[in-house]
Amino acid sequence: MNPIWLPASLFGGLFQAWRTALQQRLRAELSVSGAGLVRYLYGLPFAALFAAIWLSMQQIIVPTLSPAFLGFALIGAVTQMAGTILLIVAFGHRGFVVGTAFSKTEAIQTALVTALLFGERLPLLAWAGIVVGVAGVLTLALTGRGITARQIFASLGQPAALHGLGAGSMFASAAIAIKFATAELPGVDIIASALVTLVVVMAMQSVLHLAWIVARDRDTLRAVARTWRSSSQVGLLSALGSACWYTGFAAAPAALVRVVGQIEVVFTIGFAHFYLREPVRWQEAAGLFLVVVGVILALVATHGP
């Protein structure tokens, strides 16, 4: 396990929280589909620039993209997009809280799939960290919504819950596929494999999403072009965040990367408190505490004696 996974995961959470804050401002000018497209379309040039700079600095030739690599990259691209769609569908069932809560089981689903299907073993303490971290994120998702955890799990058969679980499964699948894709680039270092994979995945997502918008929603395409200044900022942060996530996936078990990356919610609430002057409820403080404890447990499990 390369130690670079830790700072990569932490910065991935930071950039994602920052991107989400900027993306919320775009929602006033773009549709949900348009706000999603700018992540790939405007992020792709930055991702390509990052890859070109790193490969040039390390004097690395662009590796051969094997059929296996392209297959894993395509699975990662499609499942990530499918997870976003399922989450949006869950919101359409008037189940914003329920759908969001169940989508946050991604870290546990990732750990279970990699353990059961691929034999990836984690220390018991790391499993505890994953469970505690997810519990913290669930607590934050439920805060101030007037819904208890018991009601959430009682709604397991509702469409919003099923779509939320499906979204979590798709995001978990994307993380695993991306990890496998980076492993299919021999002869390059971890960062190079992550950046090359990022460029290919973002290119695939841009083509797929653009094709859908051209066929079904051309007004959104014009709006995306019109908001190029703010969209470029979202694209830059998306590329930075994804570059960190992909580096983490290439260097360590995907479940650990995701549980440490949940520190994103700490950055998000910190931004809301210090810049938007929103008060922090005691339930939010409890949720943040659980997230931080989960991260600490995961770190102790992987860096302890």
- pLDDT of 198 higher than 90: yes
CB 14 within 8 A of CB 248: no
- pLDDT of 157 higher than 70: no
What's this model's pTM, rounded to 2 decimal places? 0.84
**Which backbone phi and psi does 30 adopt, to 5 degrees?**
-125, 155
Q: What is the DSSP letter of 101?
A: H
Helices H / strands E in the chain, number of each: 15, 0
Both tokens assigned to 298 = 């995961």
Cα(84)–Cα(154) distance, rounded to whole angstroms? 24
CB 78 within 8 A of CB 208: yes
Q: Report the pLDDT value the prediction gives residue 155, as an integer from 0 to 100.
A: 54
Q: Which residue has the higher pLDDT, 33 or 45?
A: 45
- pLDDT of 149 higher than 70: no
Q: Which domain holds residue 136?
A: 5-303
- pLDDT of 123 higher than 60: yes
Q: Report the pLDDT value the prediction gives residue 96, as an integer from 0 to 100.
A: 52
Cα(299)–Cα(6) distance, rounded to whole angstroms? 8
- Tell me the CB-side half-sphere exposure of residue 189, using CA atoms within 13 A: 12
CB 191 within 8 A of CB 2: no
- Tell me the CB-side half-sphere exposure of residue 197, using CA atoms within 13 A: 38
Tokens 């509702």, residue?
Answer: 158
**Which helix (H) or strand (E) is 265 found in, with range?**
helix 264-274
Mean pLDDT over each residue of the chain, to the nearest integer = 82
Task: State how many domains the chain has.
Answer: 1
What long-range pairs does 113-121 form, CB within 8 A, spacing at least 24? 113/172, 113/173, 113/176, 114/176, 114/253, 114/254, 114/255, 118/176, 120/253, 120/255
Cα(180)–Cα(93) distance, rounded to whole angstroms? 34
Nearby residues of 224 by Cβ (< 8 Å), 6 or more positions away: 30, 34, 37, 38, 41, 231
* Average of per-residue pLDDT across 95-104: 61
Cα(273)–Cα(103) distance, rounded to whole angstroms? 24
Q: Measuring CA to CA, how many Å separate 232 from each of 37, 44, 172, 228, 237?
A: 11, 10, 27, 6, 9
